[in-house]
Structure 1
Amino acid sequence: MLLDIGIIPMLTSLLLVGSTFKNLAFGTLTKGTNHDLVMRRYLDFHGISETSNITYYDSFYDADAALKNDTLDYVMMNAVHPQASSIVGSDFRNVFIIDTFISPSKPLVVATRKDVADPQSIGILYLSVANYTDTSKWSDVVQITSGGLVQIAQDLLDGKYDSAIIYQDTALANSDVLQIDEELGSPDDAWLLLGRNRTYTNSVLAWPNAPVTWQWKKQWY
């Protein structure tokens, strides 16, 4: 599993909150999404799964509101989620990026309903997965800018479009009505943890001995 975090201020923040014997309150997108998967990985990595609660939201705007009114302590989101730039940009004085890390997600596929002989429309989460396949094959590219891949898969099953980029496990679970046209795999995504208290203290808040430094040393020596 690719998940490496080395930011001491963030850990200190977690420990201080945890020392009050109050479970940490995290928020992210709906169960079954990449956000759910990676949120659990992150908590396991830090060893705080047993002392943390996860609340799931259909929209990051709702999660952001819960963070600002103290309902949540932290919100986790994919850096390329359609709502990420809006939330980070509009709330930069009140909500801060306090940790970042890399983790792969669920494998993705292009799936089409089996009852469609000549697919004309495809649903994609825009901009997140817009360039994962050649969408010129479809005459109607439906760009979804809210929600997530779970909802897009349901819309595909409901006939809202002929094809869609969805999770591979969802396509396999519905193999009686969906066929996989293309396996896209999983990118190494960048993830953001948002909080109310800034961890940034220096010109660069980073991991001095991060794995990338090993690559540099190989070139030098």
Structure 2
Amino acid sequence: MRFATLGPAGSNHELVLERYLAVRGLARADIRLVDAFPTAFEALLAGEVDYVLQCSAHPSHGDCVGRYMHRAFPVDTFIAGSKPLAVLARTEVAVPRRIGLQPATRHYTDLAGYAEQVEEASIVTVAEGLLAGRYDAGICALEVLERHPDRLRLVEDLGPALDVWVLFGRQKLAEALVVWPDAPVTGQFEM
């Protein structure tokens, strides 16, 4: 089986796909990392991959659902946390004014103190840009601070984002409602 999701290596998409494949007993499946979701969906339609995993919080999710309707279908969904995230700043910048972020993370914290917000493709490219000095601060994985404690400092610990993930395939499922029968919420209803 071949799965595509958003790269680069080290992205939350790759992390969550690896976790999903392990839970499903498919740890040896092939993973193809792409730079944009239209590339993944076109590969799905061309038969180059069997499935595409996309986070529903990704800015292109709605567009991809609409663009590939009747050709790419949701075949599984689940809830998963991301890597713990943080606002990190370069140690030599006392008051960060320019912040790098992946658009889906824009509302994870108050960005009013940042005069400029620079959008990046992933939290991985945010970390790369921050370390390269392209901006003063960035919303990226907390593990980046652990790898570069001499160059970065913690501004705010955001914790992991808890998101809904959608797996797309070429085979349409039944149009009936598909639910998780033993979802934790079912125990909260009075019968």
**TM-score w.r.t. length of structure 1:** 0.82
Deviation readout 1:17-56 (Å, 9 max, x if unpaired): xxxxxxx100112221111111011111111213x11111
For residue 145 of structure 2, give the secondary structure of its aligned residue in structure 1.
helix
How many residue pairs align between the two structures?
190
After TM superposition, the runs of 4+ consecutive aligned structure 1 residues lying more than 4 A away are: none
How many angstroms does 1:133 deviate by?
A: 0.9
Q: Does 1:156 align with 2:130?
A: yes
1:36 corresponds, among 2, 7, 14, to 14
For residue 43 of structure 1, give the secondary structure of its aligned residue in structure 2.
helix
- Mark the structure with the bigger radius of gyration: 1
Deviation readout 1:129-177 (Å, 9 max, x if unpaired): 1111110011112234xx2110111111112211110001122212221
> 1:49 maps to which residue?
27
> 1:103 maps to which residue?
80
For residue 168 of structure 2, give the secondary structure of its aligned residue in structure 1.
strand
For residue 193 of structure 1, give the secondary structure of its aligned residue in structure 2.
strand
Distance 1:175 1:61 in 2: 36
How many angstroms does 1:107 deviate by?
A: 0.3
Distance 2:75 2:160 in 1: 25
Deviation readout 1:56-99 (Å, 9 max, x if unpaired): 11221211111111000001011111221111111112111111
Structure 1: 5+ residue stretches without partners: 1-23
**TM-score w.r.t. length of structure 2:** 0.94
For residue 181 of structure 1, give the secondary structure of its aligned residue in structure 2.
strand
> 2:181 maps to which residue?
208
Deviation readout 1:83-138 (Å, 9 max, x if unpaired): 21111111112111111100111000000111222211111211x11111110011
CA contact (8 A) 1:98 1:200 kept: no
Structure 2: 5+ residue stretches without partners: none
